[in-house]
Amino acid sequence: MRLVRVERLTYGLGGRDLLDGVDFELRTGERVALVGRNGSGKTTLIRLLAGELEPHDGRVLYGPGVTLALTRQEPRFEGAAVREVLQQGFDRLARMEARLAELEKRLDDPETYAAWEELHAHFEAAGGYTREARYRAVLKGLRFEGREGEPAARLSGGEARRLELGRALLAAADGLLLDEPTNHLDAEMRAWLAGFLAEHKGGLLFVSHDRWFMNRLAAAVAHLERGRLTVYPGDYDDFRTARAEREAQRLRVWRNWGNRRRELEGSLEQARRWAHSSEKQAVRKRALETRYEKLLAEEPPRPERTERSVRIRFPAASGPERVLEAAALEKRYGGRRLFRVETLTVRRGERIALVGPNGAGKSTLLRMLLGELASDDPAGFVRTGPGVRVGYYDQKLSGFNENLTLFETLHRLVGDKEAHNLLGAWLFPFEAQFKKVGDLSGGERARLALLTLALAEANLLVLDEPTNHLDLETIEALETALKRYGGTLIVVSHDLAFLQNLTTRTWRVQDGAFTDTPRPPEPPAAASEKAATKPEPKAAGRPRRKKSRWHTERLIEKLEAEIEDLHARLEALHARAAEPGLGPDDYAAIAREEAALQEALAAHEAGWEQAVEELEAE
């Protein structure tokens, strides 16, 4: 059943179209991930679907009797306890149940039976028969068990967002519109949520920057870029592959058309010069003009340049073999032990993931390793090797003067001209460079923190939740930069895909214990339950290529330059053919040279297409 559909939806903000003629629909049982850059309009689209905003053009259509539940970015709960917030959706179920009971008295009437059947389907899909079990599951999964009577207004910001998520999950809605549901959830809660949503029988549209979460839940990905929405079937990995193939195909079509046009223009120019010499040449000229007009009419759309991505690089100074040593690190709060680390040794080049539930003490351990906190055990110590330069990314993004502008902040570090250049390279437009640090969005502040970290030339990077506030493109750019980083890495994150792609050793803090494992973090146990709901595995892709991505990108650049040079030589050859006084031998030589150039051009273009395909295969 169709839950909601938008047609030619347009919405502008700040002088630009966030949404430009968007068509989209969400049906019962569909699970769609909505992705796009920060500021691309994802939250705006969700609010339009929920009816919280009115479109500037186009329309929003709802199925009969459909209810959609939306998570709010800044929830407020006035005077309600945790239990009351979570059970708000039960009122709708109670009304549906009462109506079903009324209809059951007259089921011998065909119209009444049809109405009962439709309402019963809504009731079942909304969780009417599992409300208590689902309530208990949400209490436990989002860690509100035993706190049902607490005033919701007293919850911390992260707890309030979790409660808002729980309210939506239990809202007895036909469709869920979840904006960043994994924010403020640790890995275990994310795995639980993926499993819970997999059992949801209604429609689901969710925004997330968590690739692991999307790959386990999404059956389609809706990509919002430059105001337009494109839906790709499959999970996030499928989306990335399909999008790369689509863009490469558009580029190939455009290049091939341009090559044919240039070749035809050269032939046509030559034919026009020789058209007066014979009727045969005149006929050839007219035929070429017809082909040329037809080719111009078939011009494909010019491929749009993809939106710029920040290029991140972390230079690393040389350092010692033993980067860090520690022993007897212990921290207790209120009589409860957070962790105890007997001994630790970190060697040059190691890549360590520090994981554990929220509140387990991960950030506390980091601060202890950085020397900002002392061990509760007097024998505890932390030593860094000679020449170790530490770069620390604080998840609170502190350490900046809130009253300085972006430019002033960078100017103090690198000077006038370089400050502008760096800020531009990190996607801060010139006018935005005079924004005060205190007025930056979370994503802008995170990019500023990463930029200043890149200037430190640290050989030990300690990163506490570096992917928070970043969009997917920037997360992937950060991941690529850290793969190339030559120093030592310790990173705290709940982004499992990020950690699995980067780290080779895991420290886990949980239930007062510390463990050290020589492998990347594994999916939480709850995630294995979700595997049963995944589609059939995709067919094996092409074999892993031997060249590095860097070499392939350089090869593509080299081939493109050589292709342009061959076109220039062909144009010069055609110009030479137009010179007066040429004899038959001259024309024969020109023809041989043209054939050789065309053969070289075809070979280069074939090589370019193969290199692009290899890049896509990665």
Domain boundaries, the chain: 2-241, 322-389+457-531, 544-618
Residue-level pLDDT at 320: 94
Under the banding of pLDDT at 50, 70 and 90, the label for residue 562 is: confident
Q: Give the list of residues 6+ apart from residue 51 with CB closer than 8 angstroms, or none.
A: 60, 68
244 or 9, greater pLDDT: 9
Residue-level pLDDT at 391: 94
Residue/partner pairs of 267-271 with CB below 8 Å, 24 or more apart: 268/292, 269/574, 269/578, 270/574, 270/577, 270/578
Residue-level pLDDT at 1: 84
Q: Which of 320, 321, 338 is nearest to 329 (CA)?
A: 338
- In this prediction the pTM is 0.76
Q: Is the pLDDT of residue 560 over 80?
A: no
Query: What is the fold of 2-241?
Result: Rossmann fold (3.40.50)
- Region for 51 from its dihedrals, namely left if φ exceeds 0, alpha if ψ lies in -120 to 50, beta otherwise: left
Distance CA 395, CA 420 (A): 26
Under the banding of pLDDT at 50, 70 and 90, the label for residue 76 is: confident
Under the banding of pLDDT at 50, 70 and 90, the label for residue 587 is: low
Query: What is the fold of 544-618?
Result: Helix Hairpins (1.10.287)
Residue-level pLDDT at 546: 45
CATH superfamily, region 322-389+457-531: P-loop containing nucleotide triphosphate hydrolases (3.40.50.300)
573 or 528, greater pLDDT: 573
Strands 203-207 and 220-225: unpaired
For 505-544, write each residue's pLDDT tens digit: 999 999 999 999 999 998 876 444 443 344 443 333 333 3
> Does residue 509 contact residue 365 with C-beta atoms inside 8 Å?
yes
Q: Which of 60, 174, 74 is nearest to 128 (CA)?
A: 174
Residue-level pLDDT at 529: 44
Fold match between domain 322-389+457-531 and domain 544-618: no
Residue/partner pairs of 15-21 with CB below 8 Å, 24 or more apart: 17/227, 18/44, 18/227, 19/44, 19/45, 19/48, 19/55, 19/224, 19/227, 19/229, 20/226, 20/227, 20/228, 21/58, 21/227, 21/228
Residue-level pLDDT at 545: 38
For 225-249, write each residue's pLDDT tens digit: 989 999 999 999 999 999 888 888 8
For 324-378, write each residue's pLDDT tens digit: 999 999 999 888 899 999 999 999 999 999 999 998 999 999 999 999 999 999 9
> Does residue 90 contact residue 27 with C-beta atoms inside 8 Å?
no
The DSSP output letter for 81 is B
For 15-25, write each residue's pLDDT tens digit: 788 899 999 99
Distance CA 564, CA 20 (A): 35
Q: Which of 308, 357, 300, 360 is nearest to 331 (CA)?
A: 360
Mean pLDDT of the residues in the chain? 87
For 384-399, write each residue's pLDDT tens digit: 999 999 999 988 888 8
Residue-level pLDDT at 343: 95
